[in-house]
Amino acid sequence: MIKSEILVPLLNANEPEARLVEIHVKDRQSVEKGLLLFTIETTKATTEIESPSAGFVRLLAIKGAMLLVGERLAVITDTAKEEISLSSKGLPPSSPVNDIRITKPARALAKLLGVGLTALPHDRLVTEEIVRQTAAGLQKMDLELPPSRQPYL
């Protein structure tokens, strides 16, 4: 039986995801409440996640994965041999879905402008301004873009 779920917490209101930078336990390892399990980070914060209860940890994500807030990192079960359904979440960082780091406002703007996430850069945090630049580059016709909140330099 699953005793606890370990979910990705919200570390920064403008970043709906975090990178799993370290896994401090092995799958099926016996853990006590308070044992360090994971280290996750956003562009502005790093945090350590401890076990919420005693039991056996069942890993559902891999090191380096970009995970959305609320996704399962792991579960704590009563036994090490207990069957659980593995999540498709926690794909390797090379996955186009998980590789992009984008702010919540930039994601909304990309959706509004019809800019696919694969068209955006995957080597840095994507902001609204980057989405605007990408949209302008993708469009050959005049496109009325929402005004930027950033001053032009």
Share of the chain above pLDDT 90, in %: 29
Question: Tokens representing 42?
Answer: 């956003």
Q: Is 41 helix (H, G, I), strand (E, B) or coil?
A: strand
> What mean pLDDT is reported for the chain?
80
Average pLDDT for 26-47: 93
Q: What is the value of pTM for the model shown?
A: 0.57
CA-based nearest residue to 118, from 136, 104, 138: 138
Report d(CA 74, CA 72) in Å as an integer. 5
pLDDT at 142 over 60: no
pLDDT in tens, 78-125: 998 887 765 444 444 434 445 677 888 888 888 888 877 777 777 778
The DSSP result for 31-93, as a single string, is E-TT-EEEEEE-SS-EEEEE-SSSEEEEE-S-TT-EEETT-EEEEEESSTT---PPPS-S--T
